[in-house]
Amino acid sequence: MADGHRAAYLAFDRFPSAKGSAVHIRHMAAELFERYQGGLLCVLGGGDLPAYQREGGVEIVRFTEVVPNLLDRAEAFSAWAAEQLAPHRDTLELCHVRDPWSALPAMTTGATMVYEANGLPSIELPYAWPHAAPATLAKVRELERHCLARAAAVVVPSYVIKNAVTDRGVTPDRVHLVPNGADPAPADVPRPPDAPGRYLIYVGALQPWQGVDVLLRAFARLADLTDLDLVICSSVSPNRARPLRRLADRLGVAERVRWHYQLPHDDIAGWLAHAELSVAPLTACDRNVEQGCSPIKVWESMAAGTAVVASDLPVVREVLGEYGRLVPPDRPAELARAIRVLLEYPQVCRDLGENARKHVLAGFTWKHARARLADVYDLVVRH
Amino acid sequence: MTPCAVTTGFFTLGKCGTMAVAGCPSCGRALCADHVTEGGLCPECAAANNRFGHPAAVAAYRRRAYRHRSAGVYQDTVWYTGFDSYDRAAFDPGAAASQDYLDDGDDALVDS
Ligand SMILES: [Zn+2]
Ligand SMILES: [Zn+2]
C-alpha cells in the first residue's frame, strides 16, 4: 500500500452480521468509501470472519483478540484501532465512528470526526449488564460527552436520540438527522417455500426490550384463528430464544410459532412481503423511550409493502406515523385486538402496506439515507 | 481446478473461487493470481506478518509515535477518568443479564 487512507470507519460491532446494525454499517460505510475511493474499516471479527480483507480500495481489519470482560475488550479494541489508524495519520481526513471506543482512537488522528449515535452505551449497557453501578454508567456517560464534544457532526437516526445527544452537551446545530431506510423489495419476491399459509411476522433480535414476549401473549389470545401462524425471524442464535420458546410452550402456542435463526438478509424480504402483518412490539422501557432506537425492521416491513402493527412510542411514531397501526406498548390484549381487527379488513391492511411502501420509496430508501449522510460530510469536510 | 479459498465480499462474504495458481506457504490455502501478495502469502497471513502493510509505513509510524509522545499533542484527546476494577467487575462474562447473551460472541454496545 503506497498511499495512506483518507477515510476510516470504526465500529465496536461485528461486521457483517445478521443484525440491523450491520445493514446500517454497510450503507453508511459504502457512502464514506465511495466518496474517498476506498478507506479503512475497523470492526470486530470472530467466527469465520477473516482478520484482514482487501476489497478494491477498501481495507477491512477485524479485531479478533479474545478478551472476556466487555470493558477490557472495548479498551483493547480502542488500542488496537489506534494502531490500525496510526500509519494513516498523515492522510486521514475523515473518521466516521459509532461509539466512544471507536471515537477515542479516531480522535488521536487529527482527522475530522463524524459520530453516528444510534444508541448510547450509558443507556444501553444496563440492559445486558444489570450489575453495572450508577457510578460506572455516569463514567460511561462522561466518556460519551467527551467524545461527542469532539465530533464535527453527530448523526442520529431519530429525533428521540437527538434529544439524548443534546442532553450530553452537543449543540443542536451539530446534530443531523439521517433516518434509517430500507431498500424496496422486488415486486415479485417469491414466497419462501417453507412459509405457512397465513402468518404474522416478527423480524429482529430477542432482547427483553424488543417485547417478543408481549407478542407471544397476544398471539395466544388469537388461538381461535387456527389458520394463523407466527413466524419469528431471529437475528440472534437459537440459544437466545430459549426463554421465549419456553414461554410459547407455557402459553400453548409453540406448535404455531415458527422460528428461523440468522437468515441471510436477502431472504428476509420474501418472509416480510408474504406476511399478513408485521409486528414491532417494542416495550416502553427507558432504552426505547429515552434513547430511541432505529427500528430497521419497521422500515423493512414498510418497504416490503406489509402492514405494520407497532408499539406507540415516540421513536416508532416518528418512523411509522400514519402508515401503520400504533398500539399501547406492553399490552398483549390491545395488541391482539389490533391484529384481529386488521386481519378482518384485508383491504385496509393492503392499503396500509401499499401506502407505507410508497412513503419509503419516496424518501426513505438507503439511497436517501446515503444522500443525507453525504450532505453532512459536505458540511464538515474542508475543501 | 482448485478454487481460491480467500474470503471476499463486503456485506455478503464468500470464497473467491477463481482458479488457484499457488498455495499460501503459511496457512496452506489455495490462492488465485489476484490474491497472492508480493511475498507469496495470502492477504490475511501477509497482514498478520506485517500489520502496517508497507515497511515504510511502519517506520513512519514509529517516528510519528515518538514525536507525538514527546510533543504531548494527544493531551486534549485523552479521557482521564478511566474505569477501575469495581467498574469492570460488572462486565465480566458471568455478570451478564443472561448467559445467552454471550454465546454468539455478540459484542455490540448498542443493539438493534
Ligand atoms: Zn495464509
Ligand atoms: Zn482469489
Question: Of all helices (H) and strands (E), which one includes residue B22?
Answer: strand B22-23
Q: Is residue A323 part of a domain?
A: yes
Residue A168 and residue A243 in contact, taking contact as beta carbons nearer than 8 Å: no
- Residue A118: which residues within 8 A CB-CB, separation 6 or more? A21, A24, A98, A156, A157, A161, A293, A294, B110, B112
ipTM above 0.90, yes or no: no
Q: Is residue A11 part of a domain?
A: yes
A192 assigned to some structural domain:
no
- Taking residue B51's Cβ as centre, other Cβ atoms within 10 Å add up to 16
- Give percent of chain B with pLDDT exceeding 90: 47
Is A71 at the interface with chain B, CB within 8 A? Answer: yes
From A314's Cα to the closest Cα of chain B, the distance in A is 16
pLDDT band at A90; cut points 50, 70, 90: very high
Residues near A63 by beta carbon (within 8 Å), at least 6 away in sequence: A42, A43, A44, A45, A76, A77, A80, A81
Residue A31 has a CB neighbour count (10 Å cut-off) of 21
Is residue A187 domain-resident? no
Q: What are the percentages of helix, strand and coil residues in chain A, rounded to 5?
A: 50, 20, 35
Domain assignment of residue A126, yes or no: yes
- Indicate which CATH number applies to the domain containing A136: 3.40.50.2000
CA–CA distances in Å: residue A254 to residues A19, A218, A244, B101: 25, 13, 10, 23
- Whether A266 and chain B come into contact, CB under 8 Å, resolves to yes
Q: Which of A197-211, B25-39, B89-103 has the lowest mean pLDDT?
A: B89-103
A371 and A353 assigned to the same domain:
no
Asked whether residue A60 carries a pLDDT value surpassing 70, the answer given is yes
Residue A261 near residue A282 (C-beta atoms within 8 A): no
A48 inside 8 A of chain B by CB = yes
Task: Tell whether A238 is within 8 A of chain B (Cβ).
Answer: no
CA B25 to ligand 1 center in whole angstroms: 7
Same-domain check for residues A234 and A283: yes
Q: Which domain holds residue A65?
A: 7-181+365-382
Q: Is the pLDDT of residue B5 over 90?
A: yes
- Asked if residue A223 is part of any domain, the answer here is yes
Co-location of A225 and A93 in the same domain = no
- Mark yes or no for CB contact B91/A86 under 8 Å: no
Task: Using pLDDT thresholds of 50, 70 and 90, give the confidence band for residue A190.
Answer: very high
Ligand nearest to the CA of A55: 2
Q: Are residues A154 and A204 in the same domain?
A: no
The answer, yes or no, to whether residue A82 has pLDDT greater than 90, is yes
Quote the pLDDT of residue B59.
56
Q: Is the Cβ pair A119, B110 closer than 8 Å?
A: yes
A139/A382 Cα distance (integer angstroms): 33
CB B42 within 8 A of CB B6: yes
Question: Taking the model in full, what pTM does it have?
Answer: 0.88
The nearest CA of chain A is from the CA of B1 a distance in Å of 24
Mark yes or no for CB contact B110/A120 under 8 Å.
yes
- Whether A341 maps to a domain, the answer reads yes
Give me ligand 2 centre to Cα B23, in Å: 11
Residue among B11, B52, B106 whose CB faces A16 most closely: B11
What's the number of domains chain A is made of? 2
A129 touches chain B (CB under 8 A): yes
In this structure, are A335 and A221 located in the same domain?
A: yes
The residue assigned the cell 443542536 is: A172
Same-domain check for residues A61 and A75? yes
| Residue at A177 is within a domain | yes
Quick check: A252 pLDDT over 80? yes
Q: Which member of A71, A84, A121 has the closest CB to residue B88?
A: A71
Q: Are residues A324 and A377 in the same domain?
A: no
Same-domain check for residues A250 and A326: yes
φ, ψ of residue B97 to 5 degrees: the values are -55, -35
